[in-house]
Structure 1
Amino acid sequence: MTTPATDWLRLDQQICFSLHAASRAFNGVYRVILKDLGLTYPQYLVMLVLWEHGDLPVKALGEHLRLDSGTLSPLLKRLEAAGLVRRERSTRDERSVEVRLTDEGTALREHALQVPRRIAAATGCDVDEIRDLRTRLDQLTSMLDAAAQSEAAGDAGRQ
């Protein structure tokens, strides 16, 4: 069955809206689960990267999270005020600021271990379904990144 062209503009036909709605639903579950840790979802993502990679320059942290410094800086400021991270000028490059976990930030990792299990349970998916969905979403992200670069190159060529 083919979809009439006019139906392509229906909200329920938009993959971006399905992803947006799922993201908002995830944020709602994370909000409740992360309340015990005293973290917001974006702060939790910062902590995940630091727990995984250790000390990082702000620029590298932003690259991992796909966030610009204007969005990342207030997050880091709040995490620093909470005593979870420290921001320090790099001794190797004065222009670079490194983010380091404090002892309290490192210790919080133990309390966060229950978060992924609770999120997985909330999805109703088994481990293989979650792995498959994550793989497919990563592929979608790569395709969209490539399409955005191609579109940007085409826009530059048309100007």
Structure 2
Amino acid sequence: MMIGAAAGAAGCSSSTAPEVPTYFGPDVTRIQVFKEQRTMQLLHNNSLLRQYRIDLGFDPKDHKQQEGDGRTPEGAYLIDRQNPNSRFHLSIGISYPNADDVARARAMGVKPGGDIFIHGTPTQWVGVPDWTWGCIAVTNTEMEEVYSMVRVGTKIFIYA
């Protein structure tokens, strides 16, 4: 597996977007997040490629129920977008809420929330545990690696 620096093509990169390394290794076929252990794993089939220590939402226990609850969702989702201009260094979107999440929130009379991402960590939050609004955070250097390795459509499983 190799990761090397890649220069942005003229007109295709933003001066504010971080430079992302190029990844030449096996495809990431699955992401596993273990909330209680505060770990995230990138896998190719059953082979572990990378593992990271993570921070979660400010109230991480249990599944996300509604907008603003500070919980990180649990369940099976997809990576549905990449954001090179994130205010959290770089980010990749998680397809929360799914149909079940929407139905559960509707039954409770609340909004399910959204905009759940894996992203980097701004300087003021380095060393602060579980500071997000429900997202999964890694260091900015780790986020550059994750961003280069993970593609839209990758399955992500978030466990309690």
Q: TM-score range by the shorter chain?
A: under 0.3
What's the TM-score, normalizing by structure 2? 0.27
Larger relative contact order, structure 1 or 2 (CA cutoff 8 Å, min sep 6) = 2
Structure having the higher helix fraction is 1
Bigger radius of gyration, 1 or 2? 1
What's the TM-score, normalizing by structure 1? 0.28
